Amino acid sequence: MRVIAGDFKGRPLKSVPTHQTRPTTDKVKEAVFHGIGPFFEGGRALDLFAGSGGLGIEALSRGVESCVFVDQQHKAISTIHENIELLKLKDRTEVFRTDAKRAMKAAGKRGLTFDYIFLDPPYKKFSYAELMEALIEHGLLADGATVVCEHDASEEIPEAVGHLERQKTDSYGSNIGVSIFK
């Protein structure tokens, strides 16, 4: 696993040492960022179900100003901290060990908004509609925000949730789908 492009291009990232996470492949990561960027001039990202932090770190490498990482697994949080230290990104990041719903509620209470939100939960265990409804309910979407959902390719993804509309869905291999909402 590595950073694909930007300031940290080619730098290796540590993976979570457990079978409970599924890292986003380089091919999918590259496609995601070409679909939403590929480079940015600032902005704030939220990497929910962050695992190793690969999506948020890729966003930071490509110009996003700051990122909040959330995961509830201890090993994932440790790996995110290691990757942040490795790339010297501590001053541009926050890391929280909690579940996604609590994290969204806490971020809303702090008045945080995000330009780029990455949702990559365990496949078929969360409702993307409910996750996006919570983003809206807690006021976490900046004007023009982009929400990237990585999901099982067979999973039904809504056309719209509130004011978020699906822009496109692509499949990678037989089981990975990525849907982008704005």
Amino acid 22: pLDDT: 73
Contact of 169 with 139, CB cutoff 8 Å: no
Amino acid 174: pLDDT: 83
In the chain, the domains with their CATH numbers are 26-181 (3.40.50.150)
**Of 56, 32, 48, 59, which is closest to residue 135 (Cα–Cα)?**
48
Structure confidence at residue 124 as a pLDDT band (50, 70, 90): confident
pLDDT in tens, 36-70: 999 999 999 999 999 999 999 999 999 999 999 99
In the predicted model, what is the mean pLDDT of residues 149-178?
Answer: 94
Average pLDDT score over the chain = 95
Report the alpha-carbon distance of residue 182 to residue 129 in Å, rounded: 14
Structure confidence at residue 20 as a pLDDT band (50, 70, 90): low
Report the alpha-carbon distance of residue 98 to residue 62 in Å, rounded: 26
Angle at Cα 1 formed by Cα 130 and Cα 166, nearest 5°? 30
In the predicted model, what is the mean pLDDT of residues 156-173?
Answer: 95
Amino acid 18: pLDDT: 77
pLDDT in tens, 141-151: 999 999 999 99
Contact of 165 with 132, CB cutoff 8 Å: no
Residue 87 has pLDDT above 90, yes or no: yes
Contact of 54 with 1, CB cutoff 8 Å: yes
